[in-house]
């Protein structure tokens, strides 16, 4: 990171802690892109130990196992869940299939930890069932909200934690991207809020804690042919401190696939009383492993500071989510991405849907009366 007399060097740690044990026996349920190109790539880079895999299509599981050196391929999920030697489950299946698998794992009670995909089920009520079942079974549940471990997002968290930006005033996340929608989304009838916006809403929560309320407005995406409401999504998170967080998740981005030049990106910005930080996640680029970037400055600096790293959101952040679960199992402390915390993200998504339907701001307590706003997991330095 460049430094000068006016811009002294400031370390911004962003790499997740590593477990002491690398030989935790991990069983993987699912063999789609997110497993083959993200989870397993990151796990091999980190030295983790995936030892078994199963998927709805056994031939796909065999192909992924061969590509990533996984010795055991089970014919179906039940056979994998019956393996008493597995210590951790990595579940990466469509939302409607995920909670039943979590409940089956809890019924068997053999694994110590589960890393589940987001969204944690098809709605908030189903997420509650998963969390309560894991708690009753003594299984540590973490949820793969992997954007928290994008290098720029993690470094932004450090800036806030250390008070480098002062009191947060305004934060924005601006997505101009065309995600690859999955066939199961046609069946569920929803698109952006539970798939992409959930990352950004969780990121705001990670940085600033829970908002007092959310106002959300949606419209269909012209390119998505099946019926849906939440194609293009915008929302405002209101905090009692006065902070406002604004998100725009634009899955249309203009006719970028219909002959118009494209402007594809996910950028974020945090403005504080003492400084400014601007990040770019490098997502939806070619290649998709483009490293994210960060520029930041505080009062008195003569130029933006620009740390550099080789890591990217995809696939490197997936090392952080699994690594955090393994560290939690070793330490006996809950992972930051624990199931109880994720219920608040799920409730915020649910509140966004209700806001869009009723055209008004909605508090988390409307979704669950037990949820009151909670601050970030740190107290910013003065």
pLDDT of amino acid 12? 85
Chain position carrying tokens 């990352």 = 199
Q: Which three-class secondary structure state does DSSP give residue 173? A: strand
pLDDT tens-digit map of 196-213: 999 999 999 999 999 999
- Give the pairing type, strands 88-91 and 213-219: unpaired
Name the pLDDT band for 289 (thresholds 50, 70, 90). Answer: confident
The last residue of one of the domains, among 102, 122, 146, is 146
Judge if 222 and 347 occupy the same domain: yes
pLDDT tens-digit map of 50-82: 999 999 999 999 999 999 999 999 999 999 999
pLDDT of amino acid 45? 95
Peptide bond into 119 cis (omega under 30): yes
pLDDT tens-digit map of 231-242: 999 999 999 999
Judge if 106 and 177 occupy the same domain: no
Q: Is the pLDDT of residue 147 over 50?
A: yes
Q: Is the pLDDT of residue 381 over 70?
A: no
Show the domain range for 85.
25-146
Mean pLDDT of the chain: 94
Mean pLDDT within 154-178? 96
pLDDT of amino acid 284? 72
Q: Is the pLDDT of residue 182 over 90?
A: no
Judge if 57 and 133 occupy the same domain: yes
Look at the chain and report how many structural domains it folds into: 2
Judge if 75 and 155 occupy the same domain: no
Judge if 139 and 165 occupy the same domain: no
Q: Is the pLDDT of residue 1 over 80?
A: no
Judge if 213 and 77 occupy the same domain: no
Q: Is the pLDDT of residue 136 over 60?
A: yes
In a domain, 292, yes or no: yes
* CA proximity to 222, closest of 256, 263, 197, 188: 256
| CATH number for the domain harbouring residue 353 | 3.30.360.10
The last residue of one of the domains, among 146, 167, 197, is 146
Mean pLDDT within 113-131? 97
In a domain, 380, yes or no: no
* DSSP secondary structure code for residue 117 in this structure: P
Judge if 166 and 33 occupy the same domain: no
In a domain, 323, yes or no: no
Mean pLDDT within 284-309? 90
Q: Which residues touch 79 (CB under 8 Å, ≥6 apart)?
A: 54
Judge if 73 and 181 occupy the same domain: no
Q: Is the pLDDT of residue 283 over 90?
A: no
The last residue of one of the domains, among 118, 146, 174, is 146
Judge if 177 and 54 occupy the same domain: no
In a domain, 382, yes or no: no
């Amino acid at each position: 990171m460049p430094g000068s007399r006016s811009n002294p060097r400031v370390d911004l740690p962003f790499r997740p802690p590593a477990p002491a044990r690398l030989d935790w026996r991990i069983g993987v349920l699912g063999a789609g892109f997110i497993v083959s190109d993200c989870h397993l790539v990151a796990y091999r880079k980190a030295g983790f130990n995936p030892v078994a895999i199963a998927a709805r299509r056994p031939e796909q599981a065999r192909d992924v196992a061969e590509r990533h050196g996984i010795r055991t391929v089970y014919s179906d999920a039940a056979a994998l869940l019956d393996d008493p030697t597995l210590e951790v489950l990595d579940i990466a299946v469509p939302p409607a299939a995920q909670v039943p698998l979590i409940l089956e794992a809890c019924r068997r009670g053999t694994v110590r930890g589960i890393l589940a995909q987001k969204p944690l089920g098809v709605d908030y009520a189903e997420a509650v069932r998963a969390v309560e079942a894991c708690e009753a079974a003594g299984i540590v549940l973490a949820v793969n909200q992997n954007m928290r471990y994008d290098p720029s997002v993690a470094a932004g968290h450090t800036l806030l934690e250390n008070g480098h930006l002062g009191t947060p005033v305004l934060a924005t996340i601006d997505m101009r991207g065309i995600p690859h929608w999955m066939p199961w989304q046609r069946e569920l009838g929803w698109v952006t809020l539970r798939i992409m916006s959930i990352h950004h809403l969780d990121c705001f929560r990670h940085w600033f804690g829970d908002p007092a309320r959310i106002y959300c407005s949606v419209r269909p995406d012209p390119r998505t042919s099946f019926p849906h409401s939440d194609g293009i999504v915008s929302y405002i998170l209101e905090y009692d401190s006065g902070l406002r967080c604004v998100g725009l998740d634009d899955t249309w981005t203009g006719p970028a696939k219909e002959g118009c030049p494209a402007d594809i990106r996910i950028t974020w910005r945090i403005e504080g009383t003492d400084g400014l930080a601007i990040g770019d996640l490098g997502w939806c680029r070619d290649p998709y492993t483009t490293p994210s970037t960060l520029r930041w400055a505080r009062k008195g600096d003569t130029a933006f500071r620009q740390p550099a790293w080789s890591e990217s959101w995809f696939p490197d952040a997936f090392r952080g989510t699994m690594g955090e679960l393994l560290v939690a199992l070793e330490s006996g402390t809950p992972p930051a991405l624990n199931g109880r915390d994720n219920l608040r993200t799920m409730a915020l998504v649910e509140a966004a849907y209700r806001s869009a339907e009723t055209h008004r701001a909605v508090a988390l307590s409307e979704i669950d009366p037990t949820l009151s706003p909670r601050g970030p997991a740190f107290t910013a330095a003065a």
